[in-house]
Chain A
């Protein structure tokens, strides 16, 4: 028992396994509800809820009509996906006794987090999806906008990584001579009990949803919980997938995400053909590209995307409070700009909804998707190799100089 307990709670899970499971679950969630695992749409609605709270009349805002702002976050399945993810992550953090208030030593991070959060929130909603609906769950829906989004996000994170490396952005760490002192260990461990209690209450609530016939809320709550558990235990970070490839030639997360999307695409095409469902397609337009690039740049500025920031916040990383606020603010600004500042007319209107299933048929769609993912995988491996070749050369040069 102790061994099982150790491998579940004391170690982080293999990201390949975690993302394959997440890919399968998101396909199943689509099969059950005809909606996908997504979060930023709900962030936009939260922004709308807050505006209404302050008495702002948003009834004429086209964007809120489009994302169906109705009821409260507690009566929306998408809302329960978000809160379920927060709860799932928090429960795992507590069960593994790893909650700790973590305040960045570099105060500039708070400003970077807020600005990055706003840029990423704005970009994601401009492109109609973040790293989920326009990426991880967008590709398996065969929505072409996610292909554009991935390329644009890659470009955005490349420049983000450049910014991260500048001296004024990263700041100087505290490097001291001699051995440092670790924090004294605490004898009493209470976090797992709190985590267990929260889990029981939450599961009871989920059962209540099903018993009272609110099936969609129950499914949202249940799948949200599962996604939260997975992203925390796998430390799934879409930001790092691109960024670390550019920064330090690290490829694990990128490869795991690509394989997860491949698994999800295969399961989704089966679900679509067996149940005769219509995939969710978003407009592919100039806005997708600009939004993706802004999103990529913003998530690196903020050190976390809309998904990653959720479990980081639950771990007690204070930095992600301004990031979360920034995400909601950015999404809300976009909702305003959509019709009031002509964003729709200039960037979106000329686009079209392109779905590979319609244009290529089922076999063509899955073949093209898997081929695209294979190319991405190849590029990832190439970049990793190229980085390490450079490192070896640089080291050799340094040794000769000495």
Chain B
């Protein structure tokens, strides 16, 4: 697997159900400095769709495509 990106912060949301992955992700991004990279690890199926869609809708950009890792997803988002 690609591990070329070094994240500044990691948000491990495994086990949390909706809507908390979205709330936590947006709050973490809001608290970071612009340009810093956040890695999100989540396993709530609802969050596979709403976390990336809401991060983009809130004006954040993805460093790379989401990575599916078994029953989890990894997201790399710039604050």
Contact = CB atoms under 8 A, between A and B. Distances in A.
Contacts of B46: 235, 237, 240
A315 interface: yes
A294 interface: no
Contact of A395 (B11, B59, B67, B70): B59
Contacts of B49: 12, 235
A249 B9 contact: no
Contact of A174 (B11, B23, B45): B11
A250 interface: yes
Interface string B25-61: 0101000000000010101111011100110011100
Nearest to A252: B53
A178 B54 CA distance: 23
B66 interface: no
B16 A304 contact: no
Given A100-B43, A176-B12, A388-B57, A170 B28 contact: no
A62 B70 CA distance: 50
B50 A244 contact: yes
A125 interface: no
Given A173-B13, A240-B19, A303-B17, A180 B71 contact: no
A256 interface: no
A105 B15 contact: yes
A240 B45 CA distance: 13
Given A98-B45, A177-B8, A391-B59, A104 B72 contact: no
A45 interface: no
B19 to A, nearest CB: 6
A98 B18 contact: no
Contact of A182 (B13, B48, B53, B72): B72
Nearest to B7: A179
A173 B11 contact: yes
B22 interface: yes
B54 A250 contact: yes
B19 A243 contact: yes
Interface residues of B, number: 43
A183 B70 contact: yes
Contacts of A170: 20, 23-24
B17 A180 contact: no
A100 B71 contact: yes
Given A12-B49, A303-B19, A179 B39 contact: yes
Given A12-B48, A248-B26, A175 B72 contact: no
A317 interface: yes
A303 B22 CA distance: 13
A175 B14 CA distance: 12
Contact of B71 (A99, A174, A175, A303): A99
A170 B18 CA distance: 11
Contact of B10 (A103, A175, A247): A175
A17 to B, nearest CB: 14
Interface in A155-193: 164-165, 170, 173-180, 182-183, 185-186
A182 B45 contact: no
Given A12-B45, A175-B28, A178-B10, A244 B19 contact: yes
B12 to A, nearest CB: 5
A180 B54 contact: no
Nearest to B26: A248
13 contacts: A102-B43, A105-B16, A106-B16, A176-B12, A179-B6, A180-B12, A182-B1, A182-B67, A183-B72, A235-B49, A248-B58, A250-B22, A317-B17
Given A109-B17, A248-B57, 17 more contacts: A12-B49, A98-B45, A105-B14, A105-B15, A105-B16, A170-B23, A173-B12, A175-B11, A175-B28, A180-B10, A182-B1, A185-B70, A235-B45, A235-B46, A244-B50, A248-B58, A312-B17
Interface of B: 1, 3, 5-20, 22-24, 26, 28, 39, 41, 43-46, 48-50, 53-54, 57-59, 67, 69-72, 74
